[in-house]
Amino acid sequence: MIPGKYRSVSGRAANNVNCGLHLVIQTSSLPEKNKVEFKLNKDPPSFPGRLLQHDLERNYSSRQGDHINLVSSSLSSFPILQRSSEEKILYSDRLSLERQKLTVCPIINGEDHLRLLNFQHNFITRIQNISNLQKLISLDFYDNQIEEISGLSTLRCLRVLLLGKNRIKKISNLENLKSLDVLDLHGNQITKIENINHLCELRVLNLARNFLSHVDNLNGLDSLTELNLRHNQITFVRDVDNLPCLQHLFLSFNNISSFDSVSCLADSSSLSDITFDGNPIAQESWYKHTVLQNMMQLRQLDMKRITEEERRMASVLAKKEEEKKRESHKQSLLKEKKRLTINNVARQWDLQQQRVANIATNEDRKDSDSPQDPCQIDGSTLSTFPEETGPLDSGLNNALQGLSVIDTYLVEVDGDTLSLYGSGALESLDRNWSVQTAGMITTVSFTFIEFDEIVQVLPKLKIKFPNSLHLKFKETNLVMLQQFNALAQLRRIDQLTIDPQGNPVVNFTLWKYYVLFRLSHFSMQKINGTEVTQNDMIMAERLFGILAHVASSELPQYRLISILGDARKKQFRYLLESKGKKPGIINEENNDSKRLVGENTNRATLNYTTRDFYNEKLEEIKEKKKFCKTYVEDLVKEATEINMKNEALQKLWPQMFIELVRDAVIEIRNKNSYMKLCLQQITDQK
């Protein structure tokens, strides 16, 4: 009888099912040709039961010695097995041909009632000559040299098929074995699980010690309760959650490194026993509590019973893990939103630069005879940023469509760094920043913002973030050396980083020296991550020192004073206050005076006028010119009228003078009458 249940057992006693026969091949001295005699042992049968342990490496040691006959026929290349009537009655349902050095399966005639057949530990390469044993329920070919599963199509009653430790490379030809209960294929060369989906009654499947790299294609095994996959090369597991009756799963000694690769196990409601020992995942500190928190139904892990304390600890850790996941998810959303916003800002920037490039191209066509050098140090020159072309990713376009209008700029504070993306971010400088946050900011980064717009908020930056020492510029249209002049109005700069992307000025060989020269009063320490040396300062002075002298000497006095402004007043105040003081006191206050005065007077004449400010100045100058022209025209007109009147007076004056003299003589001719008239006029006036 075959046992009613096949279980995986570790360290537990196994009940044996006796199958009774062991054949010993002996050489016979009988005169008949081609006859071999076998002895049949009359001792109680000791054929052990086929209980599936983890490796299913059994050691059947029973021996039998009674004689049976195996006759070679001249009509066939296979030996023919013969047993006496008495032996057939005693062992009618079982036959063991274990350790008989067989290379082929013998022909077994008259044994139609056999139910258990054992061919263990032989050298058989092919399953054959058993198609007539249609009542067979257990077939054992353990430890042979079989390369292909075949010859089983007629064994429809077969319940146990043991093919462990052979050379099988593919699972096949099991279509008619729909009643199969136990299938042992351990120790073969199988690389893929296939052709078993129809085995709906299969309860035990052993594929240990094969070459499997993944587990899938298990649908249809609705009765499977035990699956042994130890000692393979498995990296991930799928479809196990579709096995409704699976209770024991053995995955020891594989290449599983993360729980994500076996996440389907968490959806299995029937699984109660699992092993992961010998996998990389089992070496991780989070291994045990991760498995327990995802598989609460487990009773045993790595052949050890799970305690309530372990479950409680796993639950606590699961809550902490969930909190971390939520925080991580939140951070991921913020990062994704940041990425999409920056991409949107970049797209808006590209469109803006394209429009500027198109306008500049049209102007160049209209005025091709008077090209302007964008590198000259002249505030009236407008610079053009070259258009950056290139297709945008389709997924990026879809994501950008979901952004609202407010996402066209981004303000981010990360530690001591304030990052501003897009021109709209400059408005954040008007916010009411906390003293702690504002004091913590030491680095300010500008990206996708026109430098001329940045210049307008530099005074606010100096006030809002007094400790800012490091400025970064990327995609800001820094195209001329003169633009660096605007940075002189800041309080202090220790480091300056100009990204080559979107800032053509860095292509100029001497741009760093000009920065060191113009901003020498800051005593800068680094430019683009490179330490500033004393030799750099000397070289900057040699290259551009004459420039400041020429600029200051060519300007008229009123223009120089208007440029210097407060700096000149502080210089004068310092000079006045220092008069009468002792030389020692003056020397001690020298450093303080330098801080008050700030930049050198000659360098201060090298300023920068933004394009918008320059345009405003042009409009103002035009208005002034128009007013002056009108005013002068009115003056000329008035002067002309006065001149015409003067010329007319000159012509009439001689006659007028004669008449005045004549009238005066006539009036005073009668002296008394004239006096009375005068007195009367005086009286009337009173």
Could you write out the DSSP letters of every residue in 228-259?
E--SS---EE-SGGG-TT--EEE--SS----G
Greater confidence (560 vs 618) lies with 618
Range 138-143 average pLDDT? 94
Confidence tier at 248 by pLDDT (50, 70, 90): very high
Confidence tier at 166 by pLDDT (50, 70, 90): very high
**Per-residue pLDDT at 197 exceeds 80:** yes
Say whether pTM exceeds 0.75.
no
Range 462-470 average pLDDT? 89
Task: Report how far apart, in Å, the C-alpha atoms of 640 and of each of 631, 633, 647 are.
Answer: 14, 11, 11
Least confident of 507-516, 582-591, 629-638: 582-591
Range 323-329 average pLDDT? 85
Residue 81 has what pLDDT? 81
Residue 44 has what pLDDT? 35
How much of the chain exceeds pLDDT 70, in percent?
A: 73
Backbone angles phi and psi of 131, in degrees to 5: -65, -20
Strand partners, 214: 236
CB 253 within 8 A of CB 276: no
Least confident of 124-138, 294-308, 320-334, 384-398: 384-398
Residue 575 has what pLDDT? 47
pLDDT tens across 481-501, in order?
Answer: 888 988 988 888 999 999 999
CB 340 within 8 A of CB 400: yes
**Per-residue pLDDT at 62 exceeds 50:** no
Q: How far, in Å, CA of 86 to CA of 662, rounded?
A: 190
Sheet with strand 304-305: strands edge to edge: 94-96, 116-118, 138-140, 160-162, 182-184, 204-206, 226-228, 248-250, 273-275, 300-301, 304-305
Q: Which of 287-291, 386-390, 447-451 has the highest mean pLDDT?
A: 447-451
Range 150-178 average pLDDT? 92
Range 301-313 average pLDDT? 82
Least confident of 20-34, 61-75, 286-300: 20-34
Q: How far, in Å, CA of 290 to CA of 265, rounded?
A: 12
Greater confidence (82 vs 441) lies with 441
Residue 623 has what pLDDT? 84
**Per-residue pLDDT at 548 exceeds 70:** yes
Residue 594 has what pLDDT? 43
Least confident of 355-359, 397-401, 421-425: 397-401
Residue 378 has what pLDDT? 38
Residue 566 has what pLDDT? 53
Greater confidence (33 vs 231) lies with 231
Backbone angles phi and psi of 490, in degrees to 5: -75, 170
pLDDT tens across 254-268, in order?
Answer: 999 888 888 888 888
**Per-residue pLDDT at 449 exceeds 80:** yes
Q: Which amino acid makes up residue 611?
A: R
Q: Which of 39-48, 383-392, 439-448 has the highest mean pLDDT?
A: 439-448
Residue 371 has what pLDDT? 46
Residue 67 has what pLDDT? 46
3-class SS at 348?
Answer: helix
**Per-residue pLDDT at 63 exceeds 60:** no
**Per-residue pLDDT at 183 exceeds 90:** yes
Greater confidence (195 vs 46) lies with 195
Residue 507 has what pLDDT? 92
Average model confidence (pLDDT) for the chain?
76
Q: How far, in Å, CA of 365 to CA of 349, rounded?
A: 24
Confidence tier at 379 by pLDDT (50, 70, 90): very low
Task: Report how far apart, in Å, the C-alpha atoms of 488 and of each of 388, 484, 614 are.
Answer: 30, 8, 19
Greater confidence (512 vs 6) lies with 512
Angle at 299 between CA 295 and CA 302, to 5 degrees: 85
Residue 445 has what pLDDT? 93
Confidence tier at 7 by pLDDT (50, 70, 90): very low
How much of the chain exceeds pLDDT 90, in percent?
A: 27
Angle at 375 between CA 612 and CA 616, to 5 degrees: 15
pLDDT tens across 71-116, in order?
Answer: 555 555 788 887 777 877 788 788 888 898 899 998 888 788 889 9
Greater confidence (197 vs 362) lies with 197
3-class SS at 496?
Answer: strand
Greater confidence (561 vs 122) lies with 122
Q: How far, in Å, CA of 419 to CA of 437, rounded?
A: 14
Alpha helix segments (H runs only) across 524-670: 534-554, 557-564, 566-578, 583-588, 590-597, 601-604, 611-667
Look up residue 633 and give its DSSP letter.
H
Angle at 384 between CA 381 and CA 390, to 5 degrees: 175
Q: Is residue 673 packed enough to be buried (19+ CB in 10 Å), middle (13-18) or exposed (0-12)?
A: exposed
Q: How far, in Å, CA of 650 to CA of 107, rounded?
A: 160
CB atoms within 10 A of CB 81: 21
